[in-house]
């Protein structure tokens, strides 16, 4: 999940902000496309301030707005000292999923005839020790010595969360996001203490590292959280109990916070009497909550 500091509102890591930007770009592309598409591809090519952005819907180019600022910020976040940043970024989306595949390249020329001012601006803003030949050839003169570092120095002191071992956004290669569509639940528990109620579902009992899901409430506020994710206190549209399946319908924002698709299904490998206990416990957790999700099959 892309995480912000609750105290400052700032992103905790470049990885988190980069992921949020790719999700934002995906939403902008979806908003621009007519319904019924199977595949969307967004391509950004940029050198310095000179950029071209194309969006294709099943192979046909369509117009879109608002893509420039997120792509520019993603280039900044991806900068690596002495290595520069990417020149092309290709974001691919599939219908029916919040997931994406992103491919970036930091060496191949993004387009022909790179303007000389763009090449100079690129090396000034994102300096690199070994610029590709095509970038040097595009300079109006030989690359000046001692070009000012207007962005690289800024990220020398980026305060990434040291507990997060994920790498920053890449400048070359692929990065993919595959949201969870469901989990299998073999363990269940619930509590009701000091006006705080909770339901706990896990893939296996006694394993803190296994997938698990919490639904909690305190007075009129609820929270849903998954293992390794901060969770969300809004955006849960409905919960359906259908035999041995528990389905959560979520807004895109809530799904992104949980790292799931907008429909998330918990498959209940539990005895019938335990499922009945789960039904009662979930009603108790969400019954007093203001703006509670719709409960179906309860």
DSSP string, the chain: ---B-TTT--BS-HHHHHHHHHHHHHHHHHHHSPTT-SEEEEEEEEETTEEEEEEEETTEEE---S-HHHHHHHHHHH-BTBBB--SEEEEEEETT-S-EEEEEESSS-SSSS--HHHHHHHHHHS-BSS--HHHHHHSSSSPPTT---SSHHHHTT----TT--PPPPPSSEEEEE--EEEEEE-EEEEEEETTEEEEEEESSTT-TTS-EEEEEEETTEEEEEETTS--BSS-EEEEEEETTEEEEEE-HHHHHHHTEEEEEEEEE-S-HHHHHHHHHHHHHHHTT-TTPPEEE--
Of 177, 203, 232, the domain-final residue: 177
**49 touches 105 (CB < 8 A):** no
**29 touches 56 (CB < 8 A):** no
Lowest mean pLDDT among 42-56, 61-75, 191-205: 191-205
**Per-residue pLDDT reduced to its tens digit, 151-193:** 544 444 445 555 556 667 888 999 999 999 999 999 999 999 8
Residue 7: pLDDT band with limits 50, 70, 90: very low
Query: Within a domain: residue 171?
Result: yes
Query: Within a domain: residue 163?
Result: yes
Whether 90 and 193 map to the same domain: the answer is no
Whether 170 and 55 map to the same domain: the answer is yes
Whether 21 and 37 map to the same domain: the answer is yes
Question: How many domains does the chain contain in total?
Answer: 2
Whether 164 and 206 map to the same domain: the answer is no
As a whole number of angstroms, the distance between CA 291 and CA 293 comes to 7
Query: Within a domain: residue 258?
Result: yes
Whether 197 and 149 map to the same domain: the answer is no
Whether 211 and 170 map to the same domain: the answer is no
Whether 131 and 192 map to the same domain: the answer is no
Whether 208 and 142 map to the same domain: the answer is no
Q: What is the pTM of this model?
A: 0.86
Query: Within a domain: residue 188?
Result: yes
**Per-residue pLDDT reduced to its tens digit, 15-41:** 889 999 999 999 999 999 999 999 999
Please, is 17 exposed, middle or buried when counting C-beta atoms within 10 Å of its C-beta (0-12, 13-18, 19+)?
A: buried
Q: Residue 27 corresponds to which tokens in the numbers above?
A: 């939403």
Query: Within a domain: residue 2?
Result: no
Whether 30 and 150 map to the same domain: the answer is yes
Query: Within a domain: residue 112?
Result: yes
Whether 40 and 55 map to the same domain: the answer is yes
Of 144, 177, 210, the domain-final residue: 177
Whether 167 and 208 map to the same domain: the answer is no
Query: Within a domain: residue 6?
Result: no
Of 177, 205, 229, the domain-final residue: 177
**Per-residue pLDDT reduced to its tens digit, 249-281:** 999 999 999 999 999 999 999 999 999 999 999
Residue ranges making up the domain that contains 246: 180-296
Whether 215 and 122 map to the same domain: the answer is no
């Amino acid at each position: 999940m892309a995480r912000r500091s609750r105290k400052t509102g700032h992103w905790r890591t470049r990885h988190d902000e980069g992921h949020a930007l790719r999700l934002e770009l995906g939403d902008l592309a979806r908003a621009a496309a007519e319904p019924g598409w199977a595949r969307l591809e967004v391509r950004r090519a940029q050198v310095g301030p000179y950029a071209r952005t194309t969006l294709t819907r099943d192979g046909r180019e369509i117009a879109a707005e608002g893509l420039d600022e997120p792509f520019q910020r993603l280039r900044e976040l991806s900068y690596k000292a002495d290595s520069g940043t990417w020149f092309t970024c290709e974001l691919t989306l599939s219908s029916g999923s919040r997931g994406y595949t992103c491919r970036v390249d930091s060496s191949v020329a993004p387009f022909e005839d790179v303007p000389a001012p763009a090449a100079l601006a690129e090396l000034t803003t994102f300096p690199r020790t070994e610029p590709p030949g095509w970038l040097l050839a595009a300079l109006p003169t030989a690359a000046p010595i001692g070009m000012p570092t207007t962005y690289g120095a800024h990220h020398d002191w980026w305060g990434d969360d040291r507990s997060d071992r994920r790498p920053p956004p890449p400048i070359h290669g692929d990065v993919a996001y595959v949201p969870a569509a469901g989990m299998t639940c073999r363990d269940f528990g619930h509590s009701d203490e000091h006006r705080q109620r909770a339901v706990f579902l896990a893939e296996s009992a006694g394993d803190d590292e296994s997938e698990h899901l919490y639904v909690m409430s305190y007075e009129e506020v609820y929270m849903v959280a998954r293992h390794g994710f901060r969770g969300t206190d809004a955006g849960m549209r409905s919960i359906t109990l259908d035999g041995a399946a528990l389905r959560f319908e979520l807004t895109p924002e809530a799904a992104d916070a949980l790292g799931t698709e907008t429909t998330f299904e918990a498959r209940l490998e539990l005895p019938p009497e335990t499922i009945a206990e789960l039904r009662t416990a979930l009603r108790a957790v969400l019954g007093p909550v203001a703006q509670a999700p719709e409960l179906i099959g309860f």
